[in-house]
Amino acid sequence: MAQTYDIQVDQGVDTERTFNCVDGYGNAMDFSGYSARMQVRRSTYQKEPIDELTVENGRLFFEGARLTAIFPSDVTSRYPPGRSRYDIELVSTTGRVLRLLRGYFDVIPEVTR
């Protein structure tokens, strides 16, 4: 089962979030042979995502047992203020999908533009 972790992002600001990933026994996770994907949606059932991060588009990357998500300012400036939802899934080379994280994605509105 995925861990719940809520993310806050300031609208219009470069943001980076790093997740230290351990298994149920506290051991560092091994991401060898995995890719990752993340989507942010206004609601779980919204058809189009607000944002999509992947290893392939360079906005998610692994470093040891850490997974880092990159949110550039040109992207965060287009985020609608308020509460959305997200999750992060790992995909193995054999196509096995594991949900790593899920939670609320809160965008704090920008005043200075």
Residue 70 falls inside a structural domain: yes
User: What domain range is 42 assigned to?
Assistant: 3-108
Q: Which H, E and C letters describe 33-48, residue by residue?
A: CEEEEEEEECCCCCCC
Residue 86 falls inside a structural domain: yes
What's the CATH number where 14 sits?
2.60.40.10
Residue 34 falls inside a structural domain: yes
Tokens 């779980």 found at: 44
The count of other CB atoms within 10 Å of the CB of residue 17 is 14
Confidence of residue 66 (pLDDT cuts 50, 70, 90): very high
* Average confidence score pLDDT of the chain: 94
Q: Kindly state the DSSP code that residue 27 receives in the 8-state scheme.
A: P
Which residues are CB-contacts of 36 (< 8 A; sequence separation ≥ 6)?
A: 54, 55, 60, 62, 67, 88, 89, 90, 91, 100
Residue 113 falls inside a structural domain: no
Residue 80 falls inside a structural domain: yes
Q: String of b and e for 61-89 (b: at least 16 CB within 10 Å)?
A: ebeeeebebebeeebbeebeeeebbbbbb
Residue 29 falls inside a structural domain: yes
pTM of the predicted structure, to 2 decimals: 0.91
Q: Which H, E and C letters describe 87-98, residue by residue?
A: EEEEEECCCCEE
Residue 36 falls inside a structural domain: yes
Q: What percent of the chain has pLDDT over 70?
A: 99
Confidence of residue 9 (pLDDT cuts 50, 70, 90): very high
Q: What is the tally of structural domains in the chain? A: 1
